[in-house]
Amino acid sequence: MKQHFTSALSQTFGRFASKEHGRIFQNMINRTYVRAMGLDMSDFEPPESYPSLNALFTRKFRHKRSFSHDPLDMISPCDSLITECGAINEDLALQIKGMSYSVDGVLGEGISSDSKKSIRNGTFVNFYLSPRDYHRYHAPIDMQVLHAVHIPGKLYPVNIPSLKKQVNLFIENERVILECLSAQGKRFFLILVGALNVGEMEVSFEPRIRTNSVLTPSQYSYRDLYLSKGDDFGCFRMGSTIVMLCEKEMLELGISTGHNVRFGQIIARLTSSR
């Protein structure tokens, strides 16, 4: 596939954001961004401690955030707005009210048909990370990662106005798909969706995935890759979206469309049966 103009724009922004501009100018950039976007820095180091804008985007907590260790509590993987959530209707989930997308389409050709069928009539959650949010993502439950699939694509914005006008946005955009199993043996997917100015989506356990640079799809399989609830497994280099697709009767949601959630907040309760 050819590089889309949105990818070229994002690469240009990524080069600026990755550059260390010198202490005085960089401090000005960082403080301006924090003020303009309304970042809450109370859990993080002060803005002037980050050597680049990307370092500020991908900041880590100064102290670990606490969360429930009950194995049946699912926590939010990130700080975000729930733009839509609910039941998957056969193969369809909501991008935004009144506009659906195909679950098979968003998962792409790298996921087996049997795995796709397992989440028919299941549950979905769309997490939108704005530029003001904490940009790292974490395991929502104890989980096994079976496969990672990288699908290059466009980098349209994923904010609310774009969700309302761009049909099949999650299918058109670049994404990284993680196929996972819960401790109860239930299948679910975490889909990292790229967006304008997201120069990179980092997956810490798979350095071979290089987003917004490689133009051919790739996929990787694992035998013994486990993440514990709360584990940090990567970051966006700006705001973006995580789509979660879960097998039928895997969980009961405790959040609704329009809720703002924070990493570590309980968002669902897992069913205890295998």
Q: Is 121 in contact with 91 (CB distance < 8 Å)?
A: no
Are both 93 and 186 inside the same structural domain? yes
Q: Which of 73, 79, 104, 133 is catalytic?
A: 79
pLDDT in tens, 91-142: 888 886 678 889 999 999 999 999 999 999 999 999 999 888 999 999 999 9
Q: Is the pLDDT of residue 89 over 70?
A: yes
pLDDT in tens, 183-201: 999 999 999 998 776 557 8
Q: Which of 76, 118, 182, 240 is catalytic?
A: 240
* pLDDT score for 8: 45
Are both 80 and 177 inside the same structural domain? yes
DSSP of the chain: -PPPHHHHHHHHHHHHHHS---HHHHHHHHHHHHHHHT---TTS--GGG-SSHHHHHT---SSPPP----TTEEE-SSSEEEEEEEE-BTTEEEEETTEEEEHHHHH-TTS-HHHHHHTTT-EEEEEE--TTS--EEE-SSSEEEEEEEEE--B----SHHHHHHSTTHHHHB-EEEEEEEETTS-EEEEEEE--TT---EEETT-TT--TTT--S-EEEE-SS-EE-TT-EEEEESS--EEEEEE-TTSEEE---TT-EE-TT-EEEEE-S--
Residue 29 has phi, psi (to 5 degrees) of: -60, -50
Based on the residue annotation, tell me whether 130 is a catalytic residue of this protein: no
Mean pLDDT of 253-262: 96
* pLDDT score for 6: 46
Are both 20 and 92 inside the same structural domain? no
Residue 136 lies in a domain: yes
Which residues have a Cβ under 8 Å from the Cβ of 109 and sit 6 or more positions away? 217
* pLDDT score for 164: 82
* pLDDT score for 200: 77
Mean pLDDT of 44-72: 93
End-to-end, the C-alpha distance of the chain in Å comes to 41
Q: Is the pLDDT of residue 3 over 60?
A: no
* pLDDT score for 16: 61
In the chain, the number of structural domains is: 2
Residue 67 lies in a domain: no
Token output for 38: 């309304």
Q: Is the pLDDT of residue 67 over 60?
A: yes
Please provide the average confidence, as pLDDT, over all residues in the chain: 88
Are both 42 and 89 inside the same structural domain? no
Mean pLDDT of 206-211: 91
Based on the residue annotation, tell me whether 240 is a catalytic residue of this protein: yes
Are both 122 and 232 inside the same structural domain? yes
Are both 212 and 77 inside the same structural domain? yes
* pLDDT score for 5: 42
Q: Which of 138, 147, 150, 182 is catalytic?
A: 138
CATH number at residue 245: 2.70.70
Residue 29 lies in a domain: yes
Residue that wins the pLDDT comparison between 17 and 216 = 216
pTM of the model: 0.89
Give the separation between CA 210 and CA 102, rounded to whole angstroms. Answer: 25
pLDDT in tens, 76-88: 999 999 999 999 9
User: In terms of residue numbers, what domain contains 121?
Assistant: 73-270
Give the separation between CA 97 and CA 63, rounded to whole angstroms. Answer: 37
